Amino acid sequence: MDSSLTGLCVGQSSWMTDETLPKPFLNAWPSWIMPPKSNVTLQCHTSTKNVNFVLRKGRSILESLQSLASTEGVAEFHLNDLKTRNAGPYTCEYYRRELPQINSQPSDILLLLVTGEFPKPSLQAHQRGVVTAGETVTLQCQRPDNIFMPIKFALLKAGAAEPIRVQDPAGKETDFSLRSVTVSDAGNYSCVYFQIGAPFLTSQPSNFLEIQVRDPPGSTAVQVE
């Protein structure tokens, strides 16, 4: 390990934080909602060069991931073979290599979720048949009756890097409204629900609901099946 990283987990409180350093940005690829046994990469970005990065889960530094040196202002942390215990709030920060080691403020929290712990919800469309482009398609996600904990719902689209929406429930369900639909809204949709607090357990995804797009003469329409 780089000597500059020695003692990273000890005496951390003696480091100084420079609030003028740009806050880093943390994102997940391919998504922050992932199936079990999959792999995800957490990318920490900053415009500041020649720094070292630290990844945290909650307040704890992940000892299994060595802090990465970077000359490009970005570092990648790889989490492989995801399990439920990997779910939770992550942040990253960076510090200058030269002494004194001054570190940045932490990034905004990225919540990583691993699906599969609760029964899947149902996903239905309020509309059936053809929906004309420009109109609204409403997709309703409903949790099972035996789930009583505080949750949120997320609407997913196959191939999309991020959830389409994240919403609070109204009772045991929520309505996701896709306004002014276009051909780009075509695809397979699913939804999940997840705990809003630790350990952030997440349901299995619902069955897919396909939104098909076709181009009739003179206009574009959306087929919901």
Q: How many CB atoms lie within 10 A of CB 216?
A: 10
Number of domains in the chain: 2
pLDDT given at position 55: 95
Q: Would you mind telling me the total number of residues written for the chain in this entry?
A: 225
Last residue of a domain, one of 114, 133, 165: 114
CA distance 77 to 224: 39
Q: Quick one: 105 and 147 in the same domain? A: no
pLDDT given at position 30: 95
pLDDT given at position 158: 95
Q: How far is CA 184 from CA 140, 211, 220, in A?
A: 20, 10, 11
Q: Quick one: 128 and 193 in the same domain? A: yes
pTM, whole model, 2 decimals?
0.82
pLDDT given at position 1: 32
Q: Quick one: 86 and 110 in the same domain? A: yes
pLDDT given at position 217: 52
The pLDDT averaged over each successive group of 10 residues in the chain (225 residues) is: 31 61 94 97 90 92 65 88 97 85 92 97 86 86 93 96 95 94 88 97 97 62 64
Omega before 89 within 30 of 0, i.e. cis: no
Q: Quick one: 108 and 15 in the same domain? A: yes
Q: Quick one: 87 and 29 in the same domain? A: yes
Place of tokens 């420079």: 18
